[in-house]
Structure 1
């Protein structure tokens, strides 16, 4: 793992501390998401503080935020380790996301106006340009566009709490999506899945859009479960 550039402080000590924690948190999170910090890997603060260019106290604060995000596990006096990738966790996240997101999509389609349709079209076109085909080295950029597309699908829904909860579930699922993208030999056509969801939503076909979205969400969980089980079809 290459050394991160040191984080440069400013004059306001309070602002400096918050800024350093935010940056260390973002860098740690990205390294966990990309797999540079592997599942179950021990996070040795004294070693990592040099890598991230921050003090041990700042790094611990950033790691504590990742514990709250369920991306890191605190082990009492033994320190911290990266949360494992587990099929059961992925299934649990997926079931909850399907339960909430399918209904949110229906509500969004019913309330969606011309602005909603324009936003959805823009998000879909930007995503499509990147994922035909999608390469593993584009995973980080794709993730941002993928989130934008799914949020555009639901943008017509008028429940802020529903959208906040779905954002949290999507962030928790991100590591599994990025893990799935890197799996060798996958026959999954993510672009075709997105196209079916998009076309069904734009056509106002709630049933078809809901079925396509559920199949799409569950596709990642199925792929990860097969990979973790050692299936050659993953």
Structure 2
């Protein structure tokens, strides 16, 4: 199915069921971790801000020990830094960091996509189609209608693209890079760059998807690279202040 045909097919997407959402947290630590992570990624707790356990434990309704466990998980995600005896601080963001993040993700994810296309079977393709359909439904409603739902669908699509490349290290590193990229996507949304006339995120995803299911490695890798790099280009052009 071509991009034009898919656009027509999605015309009645308002009646489609919403994409799946992440499962509920199983422990207090997991709940605090997910809530803190969301607040950091979405900018409610700003880059460089101090994270004081005595204040945050009341905000997230957990004990100090549980909160420290959650902060330790965020340190392993590189979203929080430890300052010796001075406590915790949200990791800073910058255009230099985004450029490095973007270059690294492009190198890893485009190669993983090439190998996934090369080795992917019918089950890989079916799962990729399902992930793309869920993402298309979310994008038809508009990412701003339910940002968490869209982010989940977006992550699921990117993971489905490379699912047939069975390298645990690649999967782990790309998940880590994705989490950091999410912070900058929220900055782009706040600045309005993702709504600019120069960007159609659904079309970007559709070009990647169509090349992948057609088993066109080079075309899919180029479309994925352009998609990943565009956030940096837009934020750089907007002279983002960190």
Which bin holds the TM-score, normalised by the shorter protein? 0.7 to 0.9
Q: 2:60, 2:37 → 1: CA distance?
A: 12
Within the candidate set 134, 139, 148, 1:140 is matched to 148
**Would you say 1:222 and 2:230 are equivalent positions?**
no
**Would you say 1:89 and 2:100 are equivalent positions?**
no
Offset at 1:228? 4.5
Q: RMSD between aligned alpha carbons?
A: 1.9
Offset at 1:21? 2.2
Q: Which has the higher contact order (CA 8 A, sep 6+)?
A: 2
Q: 1:123, 1:59 → 2: CA distance?
A: 34
After superposition, the Cα gap between the structure-2 partners of 1:154 and 1:60, relative to the gap in structure 1 and judged at 3 Å, is same
* SS of residue matched to 1:132: helix
Q: Is the 8 A contact 1:136 1:182 kept in 2?
A: no
TM-score by length of 1: 0.83
Q: 1:39, 1:160 → 2: CA distance?
A: 30
Offset at 1:150? 0.9
Q: How many residues align?
A: 213
**Would you say 1:32 and 2:40 are equivalent positions?**
yes
Offset at 1:164? 2.4
Q: Is the 8 A contact 1:127 1:149 kept in 2?
A: yes
After superposition, the Cα gap between the structure-2 partners of 1:73 and 1:126, relative to the gap in structure 1 and judged at 3 Å, is same
After superposition, the Cα gap between the structure-2 partners of 1:43 and 1:173, relative to the gap in structure 1 and judged at 3 Å, is same
Q: 1:224, 1:73 → 2: CA distance?
A: 24
TM-score by length of 2: 0.80
Gaps of 5+ in 2: 1-25
Gaps of 5+ in 1: 1-17
**Residue 208 of structure 2 corresponds to which residue in structure 1?**
197
**Residue 68 of structure 1 corresponds to which residue in structure 2?**
76
Q: 2:47, 2:123 → 1: CA distance?
A: 41
* SS of residue matched to 2:89: strand
